[in-house]
Amino acid sequence: MVDMNCFPQEGAPMLNNSFQVRYHTLPIATFALGSPLVKQPTSFILLHNHREFEVIVVKSGSCEIFISNTRFEMSSGDILLIPPYALHDGNILPGKAFDHYCFCFDLSILNDGKLKRSLETGYADVKRVITHGSDLSRELLPLVEQIYQQSSQYGAAWEMVVRGALQMLFGRLEQSGFLFTAAKKNANQDFCIKVLDFLGKQYANEITSRTAAAAFSYSQSYFCRLFRDNFNTSFQQYLCQFRLCKAKLLLSEADMTVSEAARQVGFSNLSYFTRMFKSCFGCTPLHYKVSHVPSNRLNAYYRGSQFLTNYAEAGNPTGKTPV
């Protein structure tokens, strides 16, 4: 069982690649979360972003989700669309028991390179909410449900069904004006994407703010200032957290040792790696590995997952664990 203290602490937004661990034969993964009634807004998604496009459906209750600092309140039957690299977090709202599901997928699954790049770089955007009861919602909700179920159960020919359903989903979104050309290119988002791409390729190597700045032809001082403005932390602090999150995914693998995980993500000093891991996640990497349940592959950015696992195991039928 994962120690609840092993979830990331509050702080800078983090590129979250944990869905990729659970990709099957297609680059898509699902997640579901149920919660008993809460008395006050309760965080269930930590601030993060990812390369994948995400679709969230609220089945019951309500929540608020912030996407790039814009608040969206959702209730039963609403569909939320989150484009690649958009920073987002969320809270369960009091009133009713909360239940939702979501799926994340790499846009390469659509075999449309132009659309993929346009959405990833901010040249294209998508309206965020398909409201329950609208004509589009009545049409797309069964389609979204089918994508989720097929991607969760891996039945016969599920890949063909999912590809076709996603093509239909994006076709109807475009026909309905939900996909559109962004009015203005977001330079800050473009900077973030380039930096995250750079880190994704170079994090295991020796990197400093000076070498990173040189890769973008910036002065070190300008790069550091721009980085802090966009990531709310220093480059070295973010790099450390980025590496630790990568290490956490590696430690989910049965044959991965702590020392090898540290080496693969760019830590040459095992003691320093252990100290930083504990500072970030609240437990040592060895404790995390020993206590981790590989079959669950919990998404670390859904902080309620472990609480709800315990809740369900206590015998309450409303508790749900991730798919």
Please give the domain boundaries of the chain with CATH numbers for all domains.
4-185 (2.60.120.280), 187-291 (1.10.10.60)
How many of the other CB atoms lie within 10 Å of CB of 221? 10
12 has pLDDT over 90: no
Q: Comparing C-alpha atoms, which of 60, 52, 55, 29 is closest to residue 150?
A: 29
Mean pLDDT of 182-208: 80
H or E segment and range at residue 288: helix 285-291
Beta bridge partners of 91: 43, 64
**% the chain with pLDDT above 90:** 51
Q: Comparing C-alpha atoms, which of 122, 111, 117 is closest to residue 27?
A: 111
Question: What are the strands, taking DSSP E only, across 26-155?
Answer: 28-35, 42-49, 53-60, 62-67, 70-75, 79-82, 88-92, 98-105, 124-126, 129-130
95 has pLDDT over 50: yes
Mean pLDDT of 296-316: 38
pLDDT band, very low/low/confident/very high, at 191 (cuts 50, 70, 90)? confident
pLDDT in tens, 107-117: 999 999 999 98
pLDDT band, very low/low/confident/very high, at 184 (cuts 50, 70, 90)? low
pLDDT at 245: 81
pLDDT at 186: 63
More confident of the two residues 180 and 249? 180
Q: What is the DSSP letter of 9?
A: P
Mean pLDDT of 312-317: 34
pLDDT band, very low/low/confident/very high, at 233 (cuts 50, 70, 90)? confident
Mean pLDDT of 292-299: 44
Q: Is 67:103 a contact under the CB 8 Å cutoff?
A: no
Mean pLDDT of 154-169: 97
The single-letter code of the amino acid at 244 is L
Mean pLDDT of 299-308: 41
More confident of the two residues 49 and 314? 49
132 has pLDDT over 60: yes
Beta bridge partners of 42: 92
pLDDT band, very low/low/confident/very high, at 79 (cuts 50, 70, 90)? very high
CA torsion 233→15→240→259, rounded to 10°? 170
Laid out side by side, the sheet with 70-75 consists of 14-15, 42-49, 88-92, 62-67, 70-75
Could you give the 3-state DSSP secondary structure of residue 39?
Answer: coil
Q: Comparing C-alpha atoms, which of 322, 39, 299, 306 is closest to residue 314?
A: 306
Cα gap 34→316, rounded to integer Å: 11
